[in-house]
Amino acid sequence: MQAHHGISDAIGRTPAVWLDRMVAARGLRGRILAKLDYLNPGFSKKDRAARGILDLAAQRGELTQGQPVVELTSGNMGTGLAILCAARGHPFVAVMSRGNSPERARMMRALGAEVVLVDQAEGSQPGEVSGADLALVEEETRRLTAARGAFRADQFRHPGNALAHERTTGPELWDDAGGTLTAFADFAGSGGTYAGTIRALKAHAADLRGYLVEPEGAAALSGAKVTRPGHPIQGGGYAMRDLPLLQGAPVDGYLTVSGQAARATARALAREEGIFAGFSAGANVAAALDLLAGPEAGGTVAVIICDSGLKYLSTDLWP
């Protein structure tokens, strides 16, 4: 393999690993393929979306040379944007809730980003970012975008997010599995990973099933009553019923995962498979195990290892 010309070219083409030890240890039939997107330069899958948004915005003339970029983030999208903006000459401002782990803010600052932390909504718990918290971050993001004359990356709406996964993640997963996948499950944040990936996978196999994963008590996308909008699975599950990037994306089923199950499965991933991942990766693998114990028994389920456990060392994920 030849050297890349820049950090942007190092995004994607991450390894994939069969989680056969975990499946066998639980007496299940079938296989789980885990895409190790925590091995991207910013240690998360959001590097793909960040590149997709900036590339499409530049092509459309939405982003001009040297223009500031502003975006709300739980940390991963902000890290991806910080890396790419540094390489492309765009000042970057990340707007983040104080409820997210501080490692992320430190990493973005190290990459040259300006990080604006927003206080949580009244009644919110540190380490548990709710939809109300995100609304406050959104308000500040809009204010800063206007004040700085910036391009708003807008990961919850910009089509470059889902397009990146349709063009890269989905095709890579299909090739990684040798065309054997029967299902894909993904924890919903912006919805871009799920929407883009499932479209690409269903283009290969129309009967492949897609499952959206949400936190227990905050499964708004499934239409369930929201009883606990705050939860420890950082990076998604904001109890938002309308995610624009999911419009038109095929969904064959919905799954819920508790914070306890996500935490326990992330720890099991580290001990049993040597994969040091974050909360949402734990949620994805927990959902895949549930699928093999139920409707996908004997099948082959793909998941994304969304980010690195290094981003959660200050949380209760790692006692």
169 with 277, same domain? Answer: yes
148 with 64, same domain? Answer: yes
Rounded mean pLDDT of the chain? 96
Residue 307 belongs to domain spanning: 7-44+162-312
Cα three-residue angle 309-260-308, rounded to 5 degrees: 10
**Of the residues 88, 119, 152, the one at which a domain ends:** 152
81 with 199, same domain? Answer: no
Q: Tell me how many domains the chain contains.
A: 2
301 with 170, same domain? Answer: yes
198 with 70, same domain? Answer: no
Q: Phi and psi at residue 50, in whole multiples of 5°?
A: -60, -45
Specify if 213 maps to a domain.
yes
What does the pLDDT read at residue 131?
Answer: 82
pLDDT digits (tens, 9 = 90+) for 51-107: 999 999 999 999 999 999 999 998 999 999 999 999 999 999 999 999 988 998 999
> Is residue 46 among the annotated active site residues?
yes
Specify if 1 maps to a domain.
no
241 with 220, same domain? Answer: yes
104 with 137, same domain? Answer: yes
> CA neighbours within 13 Å on the CB side: how many for 19?
37
**Of the residues 152, 178, 194, the one at which a domain ends:** 152
91 with 80, same domain? Answer: yes
51 with 73, same domain? Answer: yes
- Structure tokens belonging to residue 54: 């900036």
119 with 249, same domain? Answer: no
What does the pLDDT read at residue 123?
Answer: 87
**Of the residues 152, 182, 206, the one at which a domain ends:** 152
> CA neighbours within 13 Å on the CB side: how many for 272?
18
Specify if 227 maps to a domain.
yes
- Residue 214's nearest CA partner among 155, 283, 277 is 283
Q: Which one of the listed residues 45, 280, 308, 311 is annotated catalytic?
A: 280
Return the HEC string of the chain: CCCCCCHHHHCCCCCEEECHHHHHHCCCCCEEEEECHHHCCCCECHHHHHHHHHHHHHHHCCCCCCCCEEEECCCHHHHHHHHHHHHHCCCEEEEEECCCCHHHHHHHHHCCCEEEEECCCCCCCCCCCCHHHHHHHHHHHHHHHHHHCCEECCCCCCHHHHHHHHHHHHHHHHHHCCCCCCEEEEECCCCHHHHHHHHHHHHHCCCCEEEEEEECCCCCCCCCCCCCCCCCCCCCCCCCCCCHHHCCCCCCEEEEECHHHHHHHHHHHHHHHCCCECHHHHHHHHHHHHHHCCCCCCCEEEEECCEEHHHHCCCCCCC
What CATH code is carried by the domain that includes residue 290? 3.40.50.1100
Do residues 132 and 226 make contact, with C-beta atoms less than 8 angstroms apart? no
> Is residue 280 among the annotated active site residues?
yes
The whole-model pTM stands at 0.95
Q: Which one of the listed residues 35, 44, 45, 46 is annotated catalytic?
A: 46
198 with 230, same domain? Answer: yes
Specify if 318 maps to a domain.
no
Low-confidence ranges of the chain (pLDDT < 50): none
What does the pLDDT read at residue 127?
Answer: 80
Specify if 278 maps to a domain.
yes
Dmax over Cα atoms in the chain, in whole Å?
Answer: 57
Specify if 317 maps to a domain.
no
Specify if 80 maps to a domain.
yes
Specify if 205 maps to a domain.
yes
192 with 85, same domain? Answer: no
